[in-house]
Amino acid sequence: MTGTSASTTTSRISSFLLLIVFITLALSLVALIFAAALVANYINAGSDKTGAYFLLALGLLGIAISTYVLVETRRRLSKLKIVVPPVMTTVECKKCGTKSVREFQRGDFIFKETEPCQKCNDKMLITAIYKEVKEKEKERFPF
Ligand SMILES: [Zn+2]
């Protein structure tokens, strides 16, 4: 329950963040265009160039910030995707004890009879379904 609501909140925040990033990017581009116009005006008529420099700095800063936020958000989202562990199914032969682990398939449930055993041709049973958590992922969160 907690996981579902948390992921919904994350996607809501990221789409809201994306909107802000695009607005910032658009405003920065407008600032740069104004700066370019002011610089052109300065070259032509020798008017005040302080405003042009200010807009130029503002535009570049805006683009830098929005690019940084965009890259950081993408990096975090791809990290979240990697963290999701795969669901594994353990299949066991009750006759000879042969065990095999494979990825979870649709319709798998515990004590379901599956494909025949490779050694004794007896029917195998699903004995466990679990999420595979790798040790490396635990090291990422030391708390
Ligand atoms: Zn067997």
3-state secondary structure of 136: helix
What is the whole-number distance in angstroms between the Cα of residue 114 and the centre of ligand 1?
12
What is the predicted pLDDT for the residue at 48?
A: 66
CA of 104 to the centre of ligand 1 (A): 21
- Distance from residue 70's CA to the centre of ligand 1 (Å): 53
Model pLDDT for residues 65-105, shown as the tens digit of each residue = 888 887 887 777 776 666 678 899 999 999 999 999 999 99
Per the prediction, the chain carries an average pLDDT of 79
Encode pLDDT of 55-64 as tens digits.
788 888 888 8
Nearest to 41, CA basis, from 52, 31, 29, 32 = 52
